[in-house]
Amino acid sequence: MPRSSMFCIRLMAIGRNRAYDAIAGAILLVLEFSSPASAHCVVGNRFFPSTLIVDDPCVADEMSIPTIAAFNNGDDPSAEELDISSEFDKTITKTFGVSISDTWVHLNVPGRGNVQGFDNLDTGFKFQFLTDPEGELAMSASLDVDWGGTGNSAVGADPFTTLTPTLFAGKGFGFLPESMKFFKPLAVTAQVGYSVPTESSTTSADDESSRLLTTTPNPQFLVWGGSLQYSMPYLKSSVMDLSLPDFLNHVIPLVEWNLATQTSNFNGDERTTGTINPGVIYVANKYQLSLEAILPVNRASGDGVGVIGQLHLYLDDMYPNSFGRPLLAGASDSRSE
């Protein structure tokens, strides 16, 4: 399956220790300054943070730089992989935005040594068509494009383009009765998409010195995932102030999952692959810091436990009157401020 079907962002591999060091350095850097949250995907009293593996249900002006992940991938034999990626999201109107992302990949392949290069360029076009503040509900739809041939095939970049229309939803539990008030900070997000390669198969040589050609089917995938979150900021602001340490009032523990299931044109690999990602997000006024484990659902999804971390910037909070505004700021739409 295309590597982009497993993660919204790609990962790389120069070695796990260097990834841990980079993530730890980012933690030390951003925790030197923090302030109360005033974030971009706010629906009524609910804030949906930008999650690492699946997308949130809103459009916004934001940037993830960097996202670093280290893990042993699902190849046979498994290679150590380290991915360093960045993503930029820009609103055109308050309900329509575009995104662009790319990933530098480093692989330590048994018997082959180190291989590195950029993955294919990804772009997205997203429309937020429903915002219900009272119901703490948001929904959006997107078309994501993985541009074939723009990356290095040595690190797994596909030579063909892949189109993935996707539906997103987020729902808060603020509707629960007062007798269940400590469950109100819970929220769920979900996404489901269908990944379609623009070529039904790929033909390549068995190796550089061989004239023998191999044709491999390019499967179509159902890409599905979501997250379960518990918002400590929501607990303090909308349920009860428990006088917890200020750091805890900025924390959102969560678990994400993202899977891809072959639906047609099967290539003989495992039908379903993906990961489960427990972790935590620290939310400040103009940024968030995220750290999650990477738990593969089967051997074809990876070997052992990996780690992924991200520094995410809220450009709409950093530059609300200029760069962080929609390009067509005066365009009429129905999204709540």
What's 3-318's CATH class? mainly beta
- At residue 30, the 3 state secondary structure works out as helix
- At residue 315, the 3 state secondary structure works out as helix
Q: What is the pLDDT of residues 202-254, one digit of tens each?
A: 887 766 565 678 888 999 999 999 999 999 999 999 999 999 999 999 999 99
pLDDT at 33: 36
In this structure, what are the phi and psi dihedrals at residue 181, rounded to the nearest 5 degrees?
-60, -30
Q: Which residues contact 40 (CB under 8 A, 6 or more apart)?
A: 58, 60, 61, 62, 314, 316, 317
pLDDT by 10s per residue, the chain, length 337: 434 333 433 433 333 444 444 444 444 443 333 333 344 799 999 999 999 999 999 999 999 999 999 999 999 899 999 999 999 999 999 999 999 999 999 999 998 899 999 999 999 999 999 999 999 999 999 999 999 999 999 999 999 999 999 999 999 999 999 999 999 999 999 999 999 999 999 887 766 565 678 888 999 999 999 999 999 999 999 999 999 999 999 999 999 999 999 999 999 999 999 999 999 999 999 999 999 999 999 999 999 999 999 999 999 999 998 889 999 976 444 444 4
Tell me the whole-structure pTM to 2 decimals: 0.85
Q: How far apart are CA 149 and CA 214, in angstroms?
A: 19
Q: How far apart are CA 128 and CA 123, in angstroms?
A: 17
